[in-house]
Amino acid sequence: MKKSILTIICLFIAFLGSAQNKKGSAKKPAPKHTTVTAPIKKDAKNQHVEISTEFGTMVLRLYDETPLHRDNFIKLVNEGFYDSLLFHRIIKSFMIQGGDPTSKNAAPDAMLGAGDNGYKILPEFRPDIYHKRGSLAAARDNNPQQMSSGCQFYIVQGRKYTAQELEQVLNNRNLQRKQELLYKVYQSDSVQATMSSLQNTGDKEVFRAYMDKIHASIDETYKRMYPNADKVNVDQMQTYMEFGGAPHLDGAYTVFGEMISGFDVLDKIGAAPTKPGDRPISDIRMKVRLIKQP
């Protein structure tokens, strides 16, 4: 078992190292962003929004438990930011995505999804808020802090999952998180130096003992960071099985609202034909406004 784990870890590190080298070869500088770190408004309680499209209207409630995302969305809606933007990315039985400011006047063949409004939002992950069908969540790029886009969002259409599939999702999530921790440890100068020194001695038993020590340390760190990693929330599991969603996104993207009505509209948009890149063949524009609580 130890040998197979070592093999997996080494292959994973080699893969990430290769990916980093490819990224490092690019000359294009990364864009600078400010970050939303505090609520913008103090009185935005139980706010609802209406998203109108050619297929009909969807009504969503913004969560008070995620005030950074709630208030930012309210600000953008009040500014008319989303009006005439496209749902530029649609993946049937998964989600519909919009909010790219470049989509408003985009040519039919333009690749969309890279546009932003110049800032990001700190993540607001909560174990009791998850990617059930109809969830409103913030899109993001691959930044290590998992900060959200300041404007792009998606609505989960999702699908129903079996108990076996949900178990696999949980296992995959834990494996990925542990791999990320291992990679960070292996990147440290002290660990790199020790590994190099032990390899030079040729003593495989000592080297293996050192690796086992690292793995044990990672396990302890993981338990502290994710104390409920192996626990199953029965209510969430039941929701994913009976109602559907996208459980593999939990803990990685901030959910900040949920659909109250308009699920038929969500399904109509989700069924729209798309071309390579997941952009709908025919443009689907939106108009977003704040409404009183239904």
Q: Give the model confidence (pLDDT) of 262-287 as tens digits.
A: 999 999 999 999 999 999 999 999 99
Over range 14-29, report the average pLDDT. Answer: 42
Is a pLDDT exceeding 50 seen at residue 139? yes
pLDDT confidence bin for 150, thresholds 50/70/90: very high
Residues 6+ away with beta carbon under 8 Å from 71: 39, 40, 41, 44
Say how far apart CA 123 and CA 255 lie, in whole Å: 9
Is a pLDDT exceeding 50 seen at residue 133? yes
Tally Cβ neighbours within 10 Å of residue 180.
14
Three-state SS string over 105-125 comes to CCCCCCCCCCCCCCEEECCCC
Q: Supply the DSSP string of 231-260, one letter for each residue.
A: ---HHHHHHHHHT-B-GGGTTTS-EEEEEE
Catalogue all structural domains in the chain, each as residue range(s) with its CATH number: 48-160+243-291 (2.40.100.10)
Which of 97, 81, 51 has the alpha carbon at shortest distance from 272?
97
Strand arrangement of the beta sheet that strand 56-62 belongs to:
87-91, 95-98, 153-156, 135-138, 255-261, 56-62, 48-53, 287-291
Which of 164, 177, 174, 176 has the alpha carbon at shortest distance from 231?
174
Token readout for 230 is 């192996």
Is a pLDDT exceeding 80 seen at residue 187? yes
pLDDT confidence bin for 87, thresholds 50/70/90: very high
Over range 70-92, report the average pLDDT. Answer: 98
Token readout for 227 is 């104390």
| pLDDT value, residue 229 | 77
Say how far apart CA 128 and CA 126 lie, in whole Å: 5
Number of Cα atoms under 13 Å in the Cβ half of residue 103: 29
Q: Supply the DSSP string of 5-25, one letter for each residue.
A: HHHHHHHHHHHHHHHHHHHHT
pLDDT confidence bin for 24, thresholds 50/70/90: very low
Contact 129, 138 (CB under 8 A): no
Say how far apart CA 60 and CA 123 lie, in whole Å: 20
| pLDDT value, residue 43 | 54
pLDDT confidence bin for 64, thresholds 50/70/90: very high
Is a pLDDT exceeding 80 seen at residue 12? no
| pLDDT value, residue 28 | 42
Averaged pLDDT score across all residues of the chain: 87
Contact 232, 170 (CB under 8 A): yes
**DSSP 8-state symbol, 32:** P
| pLDDT value, residue 183 | 87
Is a pLDDT exceeding 80 seen at residue 42? no
Tally Cβ neighbours within 10 Å of residue 182.
19
pLDDT digits (tens, 9 = 90+) for 112-121: 999 999 999 9
Is a pLDDT exceeding 60 seen at residue 1? no
CA distances from 75 to 44, 57, 78, 125 (A): 10, 20, 5, 21
Which of 77, 32, 26 has the alpha carbon at shortest distance from 51?
77
Over range 78-95, report the average pLDDT. Answer: 98
pLDDT digits (tens, 9 = 90+) for 216-236: 888 898 888 888 777 778 999
pLDDT confidence bin for 4, thresholds 50/70/90: very low
